[in-house]
Structure formats: C-alpha cells, structure tokens
Amino acid sequence: MSRQPDPNRRNEQSRQAIVTAAADLCAEVGFAAVTVEAIAARAGVGKQTIYRWWPSKAAVLLEYMERERERAAGFPDTGDLAADLLTQTTALQRLFDSDAGAVWRGLLIAAQSDDVAADGVRALLEQAIVEAKQRLTKAQGTDELRSDADLDMVVEIIFGPLYHAWLLRTRPLPKAYMSDVLKLVFEGLKPRDRPLIR
Amino acid sequence: MSRQPDPNRRNEQSRQAIVTAAADLCAEVGFAAVTVEAIAARAGVGKQTIYRWWPSKAAVLLEYMERERERAAGFPDTGDLAADLLTQTTALQRLFDSDAGAVWRGLLIAAQSDDVAADGVRALLEQAIVEAKQRLTKAQGTDELRSDADLDMVVEIIFGPLYHAWLLRTRPLPKAYMSDVLKLVFEGLKPRDRPLIR
Amino acid sequence: MSRQPDPNRRNEQSRQAIVTAAADLCAEVGFAAVTVEAIAARAGVGKQTIYRWWPSKAAVLLEYMERERERAAGFPDTGDLAADLLTQTTALQRLFDSDAGAVWRGLLIAAQSDDVAADGVRALLEQAIVEAKQRLTKAQGTDELRSDADLDMVVEIIFGPLYHAWLLRTRPLPKAYMSDVLKLVFEGLKPRDRPLIR
Amino acid sequence: MSRQPDPNRRNEQSRQAIVTAAADLCAEVGFAAVTVEAIAARAGVGKQTIYRWWPSKAAVLLEYMERERERAAGFPDTGDLAADLLTQTTALQRLFDSDAGAVWRGLLIAAQSDDVAADGVRALLEQAIVEAKQRLTKAQGTDELRSDADLDMVVEIIFGPLYHAWLLRTRPLPKAYMSDVLKLVFEGLKPRDRPLIR
DNA sequence: GCGTAAGCGAGACGGTACGTCATGTCTTTCA
DNA sequence: TGAAAGACATGACGTACCGTCTCGCTTACGC
C-alpha cells in the first residue's frame, strides 16, 4: 500500500536545486562520484526528498537531460540536407564537450545496469532518431539521399562515427570533424570511378 | 616501500579461476553486480589474492579480454578488402553477443571512471585500430579505398555504426547488418548520378 | 515570536482521541513503539495538531496519567493506618497491571531523558508523596507510626518494594504482596525478642 | 546461511575501545543520546564492527556492566549481617552515583523495550539477588533475621527504598541513607512497645 | 631434507554510501 | 483560522562492499 507523493505540493526550489546539483557534480567529479548523499548535501536537501521523487541518481540526471533537450530546437530543416546534418551533428559534438556531455555519458553508463535509466535513455535516443529519420525521409523525396537506404542504418552511419570517437575516447576530434565525415559517407569510401578530366 | 609479489610463486589455478569467475559473473549478472567479493567467493579465493595481482575488478576483466583477443587471429588479409572487412566486423558483431561482449561492455563502462581500465581499453582499441588501419593502407595502394580518406575516420565510419547500435541498444541487429553497412558506406549515401544503362 | 494557539478554539474531540490513542498504543505495543506519527494515524489527526498542543509524546501520556489520577480519590483516611496503607498500595499494585501501568512505566522511562516528562513525573510523584506523608504525619500523632522516622524514608520503605518488583520485573507478585510487606516493615526484620508466652 | 564471526580473530583493542566509548558516552550525554554511530565514531571503529559482535547498543553497555560487576567482590560476609548489608548497599549507592550508575540506568530503560537488554539485566539482577538471599539465609540461621520472612521480599524491602529514590529521582540522598533505612526496616515502623526505662 | 619465506584461504578491520524511518517544522488545502 | 494532510531537512538506522590488515596453512626454494 505504498503511497506516491502528491506532485502538486512539491517544492519546486528543491527540485531545481537537486537537478542542478546532480548535473554540476557529474561535470565536476564524474558520474561514478555522484552519490545521492553528495547531491543532497550540495543541494541543501534531505536524502529522502530525492528518494521521494526519483528512484535513483540516474533518474535525476535524466530529468536534467530532458530539460536540456527541450532547450534545443528539433532537427533543422532548411531544405539543404547536407547543411542541416552538419548543423545538427556539430551541435551534438559541442554538447558532448559540455556539462551535458558528462551527464549524457553518465546516463549511457547507468543505462547498462539500471532499467529506469535504460528506458529514459532509450526514449531520448528514440526521439532524436525519429526526428532525424523524418528529415532523412524528406531528403529521399528530394533526391538528396539514396532512396534504397535503410534509415536506421543511415542514422547509425552518420552518428556512429561521432559516438565512436567520443565514447571510446580514441582521439580528440577536430572542430570540422563532422564536416569531413559527412562528405565521406555521402560520397562513399570507394575511389571515384574515373577522376574526370576537367 | 611496498613490495610487489613474486610472480614465479603465483598460483596459476587461482589466476584462471579468478579470471573465469569474473567473466562468468559479468555475463550472468552484469558488470555492476560484479564485485571483488563475489569474484573471490565464486572462484573460491581470498579477496587479497585478487588485490595482490590486480588493482581492480576491471583489471581482471581486462585480462580476460586480452586472452580472448589472443585467441582471435589478427585482421584478415585475403586481398579482397570488402571481404576482409565483412569477416572482421561480423566477428566483432558475434563477439558483442557473446559473454565476451558483456565483459567488453563492462570495461567500456569502467573506463569512464577508472584510469587503469581506461588504459587497458585504450590499448585494446588501439591495437584493433592499428591493425585495421594497416589493412586499409594496403587497400589504398590497391585502389580499393579512396586514397584521400583519413584512416582514423574511415575506421570510425566502418565500426561506428555497429558500436552505435550495440552500445546504445537502439535496436536488434540482423545477421547481415555489416554487409549492408559496408555496401552503403563504400558506395556513399548520395543517390547514384545516373543509374548507368548497362 | 512564536504564537501559541488559542485554547478556546481547540477541538476537544481531537484532544480526547489523541490522548486515548496514545495510551492505547502504549498499552498495546509498548512505550518505545509509540510515535507521534502512530498516535496521529490512530487518532485520525494531523501530526501538527499534536505538536501544536503538546511538546512531545510524553506530554500526551502525562495528560493521560493526570486524568487517571483525578479519577482516583486521594489518600484514604479511615483512622486505621494499616488499613489505609493497604488500600492505597493495593490500588497502586492494581494500577501497575493496567493500561495506566504501561503508560506510567513509559513516563518513568521518558523522564530519564526528557525534561518535560521529568517535570511532569516529578509533579505526579510529588503529589502522591505529599498525600502519603500527610497521612503518615497524622499516624505519628495517633502513635501508629514511629515518631522519630523520617517520612520520606518511610514512604520509600513502603512503596520501594513494590516499585522494585514492578520496575525491575524480577518476579510476579502475589495479590497479597503488599499485605505481607506492610506487616514485615511495620514489625521489623529483626527476630522478635522473646515470642511472648501468651 | 548467515555466518557468525570467529571470536578468536577478534580485535581486543577495538572491543575495549567500543565498550569504554559506550560507557563514557552514556555518562556524558545520557543513554538516549548514545547511538551506534556515536560509539563507533568515538571508539574510532567501523559501525559494522559493533554490529558484528553486539546486537544493539544495550548489549555493549551490558558488557560494560558485567565487567564492572566482576570487579566488585561478591556479597560480603563478616558474620555481622547489619554490617554486611550496610557495606553492600552503600557500595550500591556509590555505584549509582558513578558512570556505571548512568549505564545501569540506561540498561534498565532499554530493558523495557529490548528483549536482549531485558535478559541481561535480569541476569545481573538475579545474580545480585541470589547472593543477597544466600547471605540472608545464613543470617536466619544465626538468628539475625526473622526466619519467617520471605527472602525475595526482604531483598525488596532492603533495596527497594534505594532504587525508589534513585530511579524516581525524588530527592538527593544523604551519605548515611542506607544506615538509617536498615535501622528502620530492622526495627520496624511500629512505635516501640514500651520505650524501656534505662 | 629442512627451515624459512612467500602465496594462499579466510575473514575482521575502518570506512563510505546505500535506501528506510521517525523526527519536528513548514506549507497547502479545506471547512 | 484551526485542523487534516503531507512535504520538507535532518540524522540514525542496519546492510553491502570497499580496500587493508592479520591470521594459520601450504607450498617451494636454498642452504
């Protein structure tokens, strides 16, 4: 007969303080060092207030990420697919280097063992992927993208390289990284048939 | 003046038992539930025997991964780049679905907060990337790959989609996944200029 | 600038419910398990209503004890000291076995660490002792009690054995316990000089 | 399948530190403020080390009391009952005023709600009562004590007044308190038949 | 071939964080 | 505006692992 609390009576100040404190901690000391105790202490809040509203620290960080996502516009659509993809992926690359990147990295970790985090992460990814696929569908209509390509796969080809380099930390990425990646995946890795005499 | 122990007198049985127990646990209950205590208990070993030879649970799992890697041959080279890439990436996709995949996932998590794990993971990745780049370099010589492409980026384009789908668990992958990905990234996402009349 | 509430507007029903609930809980689950939350829940009352009118759970139980005391007459005075003492101590022994006994035991515990409870308990004890001493003083006048005896000490000698057995729970007491105690302390523990031939 | 720890491997220093810290805390801040956390902190010990060996804070204090009891000799027997009783009760009165008194008071409180404490307290009391009754039995043989008196009751009459005054804190006791009490209970509260002309 | 020193299993140790509970205060809602 | 409801900050609870340590036991090397 466990009762869930009444959201109307919730203290909004505490809520903000908790989410902010969690994200700051994550950026400063890394996800592993974020503990409910530390969040509570930094937010000036009782531990119970965290446990009352969130099932885990990952859930708190999820709320932060969702908030960040709302601040960002959706997938851009200027009519030029190449430009739109560059805009979006460059924004993502910038996000990966920000505080939100640290939080997102932590959530991807948490999602490996915490079902709540996994669901939240899945939802965020899903949303991003759906938006991307909508833009790509339109691009197939305007003949900017191969119409025989599976869109999930296209998404993975476009975002995969960036995630690979960021998550696996194999090397630092140049600012223009995604510009080159996009050129390469759109043109293909095969040598051009005949470098046209021009 | 801390003394490191004498490797000659090391008990090889314990070593095997520990590494195996750690990997099994990882596959069965997930990386987060793998604790030094649990490894010691399952291996029938004292905790100190683990701490004596490994700095952390991640180091134990690293040893397992290195062992797995040794069992696998290096990057294949049949002279046919497309075939070799397919062989290698398909093997990787199969590995991701095996016990070693669970371990590798755990190590990628641990690498985010544990420097020892990060170094080990980096080394394993480095080795794989170097081997891949060597094969790709040769392919550039045989005109199977654009010679103007940055090889790190090519590696990320080839392996990125697989890691994206596996690590972020966005969807189950079909068996032939990498076959299609390779076709697409080699031909490019752009619509073919004129489907040549042939 | 803390405002104390207006007693005129007090809800008498809540008051009764709280005091009764507290005493019942004390008898049923013991003093340690009596919590303000439990009292409030059982009385169908908000916690604040308790904190508004009483400083602690002990204060609620004190009100119960004071009420019980009012229901009992004062120290009896029939002219026969022995009979009056027996009446009074037997009533006390009966009270110790009742719900009020559980409450009284709890208050004696609380008095060890709670100043409010200590003061209340002291007042109740004081009142009982003063009444007893008044009766004893009269008895000294009628030569029923040694006139050289310190009355505080006499009170302790009469009530001490009962409290000893009840509080320390060393053994169950027979119904006629106080009858024998009184006989013994009045006659003295020394063997009678010469059992008079009579 | 819970394992109880091996007493042979127990750290005697920690044990002493814990028992001493608990008793000191009890004397300084009172039983209610003694917490396992505070004991652990003051003893410089992990909480688990306390929980490993004792079921509750009361059990720690019990060990202290048992230790104190061992330091005290048993019931004295000089052949003079009055003198022996005075010796013993005076020692008890002194103990009530010492640190051990604070601990004993705490244990009597704990015994009201904690079965472990209750059993321990009962055992300590039992031992004291048995010793007292043995001495009293002998005294009945030497005609120093009424042979028709129930010895449990005699114990309660002798120790009851002291416990009454100490536990209920009704008044401060003079040094010679027990001397007067003993005189009174042995001679009886009744006025002497004929104040002998002498 | 025997003493000694190391590795071993076991597990107690001082700690940190966990998630739960009750406290006493404060705020919101309703009669 | 008093009372119900209940969210809040606080802090102790008892548990799980952490990484260090100290025990006896056994193993294997070197005199």
Residue of A nearest to B180 (CA): A153
- Asked if C146 lies within 8 A of D112 by C-beta distance, the reply is no
pLDDT of residue A3: 58
pLDDT of residue D132: 97
D154 token code pair: 């005699």
d(CA C187, CA A98): 92
Top-confidence range, A49-58, A186-195, B188-197 = A49-58
Mean pLDDT for D33-50 is 93
Mean pLDDT for C17-35 is 92
Give me the CA D10–C1' F24 separation in Å, rounded. 15
More confident residue, B4 or B69: B69
Q: Report chain B's mean pLDDT, rounded to a whole number.
A: 93
pLDDT tens, residue by residue, A54-97: 999 999 999 999 999 998 879 999 999 999 999 999 999 999 99
- Cβ-Cβ contacts under 8 Å, D149 against chain C: 184, 189
What residue type is assigned to position A39 of the chain?
I
B149 token code pair: 């492409």
How much of chain B is helix, strand and coil, in % rounded to 5? 70, 0, 30
Mean pLDDT for B48-73 is 94
Give me the CA C29–C1' E15 separation in Å, rounded. 36
pLDDT tens, residue by residue, B13-46: 999 999 999 999 999 999 999 999 999 999 999 9
pLDDT of residue D194: 54
**Does residue A188 carry a pLDDT above 80?**
yes
Q: Which of B160, B171, B188 sits opposite A152 (nearest CB)?
A: B171
- Asked if D161 lies within 8 A of C165 by C-beta distance, the reply is no
Contact D136, D153 (CB under 8 A): no
Q: Which chains touch B (3 or more CB pairs under 8 A)?
A: A
pLDDT tens, residue by residue, A120-143: 999 999 999 999 999 999 999 999
pLDDT bucket at C106, cuts 50 / 70 / 90: very high
pLDDT bucket at B1, cuts 50 / 70 / 90: very low
pLDDT of residue A41: 95
**Does residue D168 carry a pLDDT above 60?**
yes
Q: Which residues of A57-69 are buried (b: 16+ CB within 10 A; e: fewer)?
A: bbbbbbbbbeebe
Domain B7-65 CATH superfamily: Homeodomain-like (1.10.10.60)
pLDDT of residue D2: 47
Q: Domain segments of chain A: what residues? A: 7-65, 73-187
Tally Cβ neighbours within 10 Å of residue A9: 6
pLDDT bucket at C192, cuts 50 / 70 / 90: confident
Pick the CATH number of D68-187 from 1.10.357.10, 3.20.20.140, 1.20.1080.10, 3.40.50.2000: 1.10.357.10
CATH architecture label of C7-64: Orthogonal Bundle (1.10)
pLDDT of residue A9: 87
pLDDT tens, residue by residue, D135-155: 999 999 999 999 999 999 999
Query: What is residue A149's DSSP assignment?
Result: S
Q: What is the CATH number of domain C66-187?
A: 1.10.357.10
Q: Report chain D's mean pLDDT, rounded to a whole number.
A: 92
pLDDT of residue D3: 60
Q: Which chains touch D (3 or more CB pairs under 8 A)?
A: C
Contacts of C80 (CB under 8 A, 6+ apart): none
d(CA B98, CA B95): 5
pLDDT bucket at A45, cuts 50 / 70 / 90: very high
Q: What is the CATH number of domain A73-187?
A: 1.10.357.10
pLDDT tens, residue by residue, D74-119: 899 999 999 999 999 999 999 999 999 999 999 999 999 899 999 9
pLDDT tens, residue by residue, A95-124: 999 999 999 999 999 999 999 999 999 999
